[in-house]
Structure 1
């Protein structure tokens, strides 16, 4: 009787067992690893990970409450909330493998997640793969960076920005310090290829005046870090949007999202939210999407809202909304709009987020 209870799965050779597991989704693989030692050894061996990685192309979005960074209430015992837009499903990964008092997700690149973490010995930026539960701690940073630094990453290259200084880490253990040379903190910086693009307010305390700036990673530390990117034919394109934000577009493009002003007056009301696209190859703007009236009516009542996304998809979270609005440009025409429900509850209802190209073979 005892022999019968341990037949089938435990007596299978390793090759057929791996063949079975390769048919599972990443979510199912993560669940199976916790079943027994045999499953864990099979699902974590390099050969199996490589086979699964070749067929998995995941495009997820990490979504977390906007207030958690300020209050520092996010703990490693909490869950990482990930939205799969392709299947319209939420996934949740525990962060209990991180030995820190707090862990706040801020960015992702090449299948790895970046988190601001705090322990009794100090504050650091940590790279991890929530699927394999492996992590690596980067050299420590001070409190000012922990509270206000914006993180960008491309592979092993990491850039942390504020309004005056840029910290750069590339294949080493030391942060390189460079002057940002900007009059204000770069707003919504995004990394496209080997260059960082951001919006900078060069106006007055009474009237914002936005400009598009950029810097090349390879030129950091060689004199002037940032340059303006502007063309006369663009006209007053930056003046027609209220509270503009940049998002990395599909391929070699940028998306700029903001409220479309009814006039050029300082306190002009907005008629809708518009998504503009800049083709970086020919430096031409076009309209990529416009929020329908039934969606904008909700945002008008919410007042404050957050914008995040990447490529084909842009998400909007509103104060007290309890849901997200999503624009998907993979649909025909100017893209499709729909509501995303099931977000985790937060104090003010506002959520931040970023794209996460999950990979089971990514090593911190």
Structure 2
């Protein structure tokens, strides 16, 4: 198959995994990214792709795009020209808000759109986004969701015909590298942790992830357990530079800067080592789709303290063991972190073993993306002219 992916701000890890997996199966993969996006910068500087993966860029720095009454990063005519030159069997937009319209009007191709997570909430904030999503749904052959709560939200803007095209799969964790058997000593030594405990978050610094809640919890945790260090790891994004500076200033104001380390880009294959060396993983997100970061941490045998939202409750319903706390409540978060450390939950191998079994069964990346590959083939057989 010749597959073309469109994206802009979707996690580079997600895009890289999709591209490399399909290329490894012998498919020809094309990635279209806006030239000025952080995704394009990271990909061109840090990612090594095989010859069967081709990266294209579109120039979005034109006045007409900046004056549209809704957010978009696409020059529709230019992206359509690139797609026409590629002539793919299937075109797949990895974020419906950013790529739904470019996919919808890409030409006479088999079309797939993704609903990944927080982007679907924009339909409640601006009626234009609702129209964009409805249009993308109507003109696509498959609508792919990462989680049940996203599917439920999308029902509001979907027709009966749309519902027949909807599919949910849990493309979460590469269990070959995220698992409880990782040796954390290398990273602990690099971070000079010694006998200190480590709390980590790997969520974006965008406001929806509410990192302030964890920062406010840090002095409370340190009062109970002084030898705790905190890693705040986010992916590189020029769009979030102001947020990062704001969070750093907050840490300084609370006088806990010596206990906190900010990390931006970490190669995907190194991320499990950071998670494995942590005593507690924290997510303060106010909304998630699947919450891949949460599942990655649990797969590595790291006790998790998660904000009590729809997506985390769905993980608990699947049988995963994690602690939930009231969102935005820093005191409740600190209490759960302290309890997890004092109860030495990191050493509870039986719980971690059971978590990994559930993740392997329901959230394994390879197992779920094989279903996507088969769907691609079925769609091409059915709709390609």
TM-score for the superposition, normalised by structure 2: 0.24
Q: 1 or 2, which has the higher strand percentage?
A: 1
Larger Rg over CA atoms: 1
TM-score for the superposition, normalised by structure 1: 0.25
